[in-house]
Chains A and B, each alone.
Chain A
């Protein structure tokens, strides 16, 4: 092997993966699936796939970046598998907008966004915000969560999201819209209490 080339490239050290990257990958997975058990499974699958595919590691990105890209694929697969199951049903959520003629589509006063200024500027509450967000994400219906995670967190393009979980393009926006309304309201209720 030509040392002068390989020296500048990243190398893999599988024996150190758990200690070096385990916690980070576990956090990353957990923030997207909201289940410690599933998160551990995903990390495990990631390591196993990485070992099998280690020949394809070209050393152009760091070990962690590479492992992360495998984990991301695992998360998409997780939601794709879920989307073929029955429990992936649409959810009931009444939008925070009025129904009656004349004011249709305008905020219901009690459910309209409140002022968050004070809270978002309090640095001591950032950690708390992350916890609340994780909790509220876990309360979203599966399909909405899948769309939110893939589109907002993973920034995957719409066509691909639709292909993975099976929905139409216009449907995607409707789901994302509802997911955001529910998530925002949940965060507000838990955060401002």
Chain B
């Protein structure tokens, strides 16, 4: 990479953020309101960065999958079940 490219990347980082900051803002933005400047910077960064676009999609997918997993499922659709032994232990504790 030559000097001109380096200077170009550095000055663009100030305006459009680097990927480290951009992904931090993606995470932050999911839970709080970003400032107008942050929003704009992130938007511009995402337009030019396919990896951060992927990061955003994948983060959303992971959050979605987590919520899916929490839905009260049909019987027989759980990830794991109490063993008979555990069941007995619990019942004894509640005294039923």
Interface residues of A (CB under 8 A from B): 14-19, 22-24, 26-28, 30-31, 36, 40, 43-44, 47-48, 51, 64, 95, 97, 101-107, 112-116, 120, 126, 129-131, 133-134, 151-153, 158, 173-174, 176-177, 180-181, 183-184, 187-188
20 contacts between A and B (CB under 8 A): A14-B96, A23-B82, A24-B78, A26-B80, A27-B80, A31-B70, A47-B93, A103-B1, A105-B18, A106-B19, A107-B19, A116-B58, A134-B79, A173-B28, A176-B27, A177-B23, A177-B27, A184-B55, A184-B58, A187-B62
Cβ-closest chain A residue relative to B13: A105
Cβ-closest chain A residue relative to B9: A102
On chain A, the residues within 8 Å of B24 by CB distance are 173-174, 177
Q: For the complex, what is the distance from the CA of A51 to the CA of B27, rounded to whole Å?
A: 39
Main secondary structure of the interface of B (DSSP, over half): helix
B6 part of interface (Cβ distance < 8 Å): yes
- Given that A102-B10, A105-B21 are known contacts, is A22 also in contact with B62, CB under 8 Å in the complex? no
Q: For the complex, what is the distance from the CA of A154 to the CA of B51, rounded to whole Å?
A: 28
Interface residues of B (CB under 8 A from A): 1, 6, 9-10, 13, 18-21, 23-24, 27-28, 31-32, 51, 54-55, 57-59, 61-63, 65-66, 68-70, 72-73, 78-82, 86-87, 89-91, 93-94, 96
Q: How far apart are B15's CB and chain A's nearest CB, in angstroms?
A: 14
Cβ-closest chain A residue relative to B67: A153
- Given that A47-B94, A116-B61 are known contacts, is A102 also in contact with B82, CB under 8 Å in the complex? no
- Given that A107-B19, A184-B59 are known contacts, is A23 also in contact with B81, CB under 8 Å in the complex? yes
A120 touches B61 (CB 8 A): yes
B90 touches A44 (CB 8 A): yes
Q: For the complex, what is the distance from the CA of A47 to the CA of B95, rounded to whole Å?
A: 10
Q: For the complex, what is the distance from the CA of A101 to the CA of B18, rounded to whole Å?
A: 12
A97 touches B94 (CB 8 A): no
On chain B, the residues within 8 Å of A103 by CB distance are 1, 9
Q: How far apart are B83's CB and chain A's nearest CB, in angstroms?
A: 9
Q: Which residue of the partner chain, among B1, B19, B59, B73, contacts A105 with CB atoms under 8 Å?
A: B19
On chain B, the residues within 8 Å of A126 by CB distance are 65, 68
Q: Which residue of the partner chain, among B13, B54, B89, contacts A116 with CB atoms under 8 Å?
A: B54
Q: Which residue of the partner chain, among A28, A176, A177, contacts B70 with CB atoms under 8 Å?
A: A28
